[in-house]
Amino acid sequence: MTKIKAILSEVSAVLNQLDEKELKGISEKLGAAKRIFVVGEGRSGLMAKSFAMRLMHLGATVYVVGETITPSISIGDCLVAVSGSGTTQNVVSVAEKSAALGCDVIAVTTNPESPLAQHAKAILHVPAATKYRKENEAPSIQPLGSLFDQAVHLLFDTLCLFFAGNNGVDHKGAFNQHSNLE
């Protein structure tokens, strides 16, 4: 098997374990939020940022935690917190504080029993390998958390399709929100 086919096989095996009804429910939570905030560290943080960008294209008011223009979070807002292990200190801390402030937290993690998941109203359980390679994780030929990050990217794109459909945003509408300064 080629490396590309092996990677595709791994990602497919993870995604085939998820239920689209669960993703539809999460997209509805996002649509009901006044504003959406995302947080993650490392590559998972990059997946969160790419999700925020696409949500902006789809008309959401969205912010990346830690950026200089990110306002305070408040009741009615939603935090999407991404951590493969569910133990990344900064991500867990932001989720805990957001929940304490009365915000909905959506945890995106491989571990539905993790500290991150404990602060969440909804959990997107992604059964992929992380850098820790625990017994309950899917096997992977890829280093570190690559499989988790790849699966999360595709799941976020799926959430965006549901979000766009729920809000009547098509390609042209999204393109109108795309940066025009480049």
Give per-residue pLDDT as tens, 86-113. 999 999 999 999 999 999 999 999 999 9
pLDDT of residue 41: 97
The answer to whether residue 93 sits within a structural domain is: yes
CB 64 within 8 A of CB 182: no
The answer to whether residue 4 sits within a structural domain is: no
Question: What integer best gives the mean pLDDT of the chain?
Answer: 93
Residue 126 confidence (pLDDT) above 80? yes
Higher pLDDT, 176 or 97: 97
Which one-letter DSSP state was computed for residue 33? -
Question: What pTM was computed for the model?
Answer: 0.94
Range of the domain at 35: 11-164
The answer to whether residue 176 sits within a structural domain is: no
Q: Worst-scoring range by mean pLDDT, 36-40, 76-80, 103-107, 140-144?
A: 140-144
Task: Specify burial of residue 35 (Cβ count, 10 A radius: 0-12, 13-18, 19+).
Answer: middle
pLDDT of residue 86: 94
Listed residue (44, 11, 61) closest to 163, CA to CA: 61
Residue 129 confidence (pLDDT) above 90? no
Q: Report the CATH number at residue 90.
A: 3.40.50.10490
What is the number of structural domains in the chain? 1
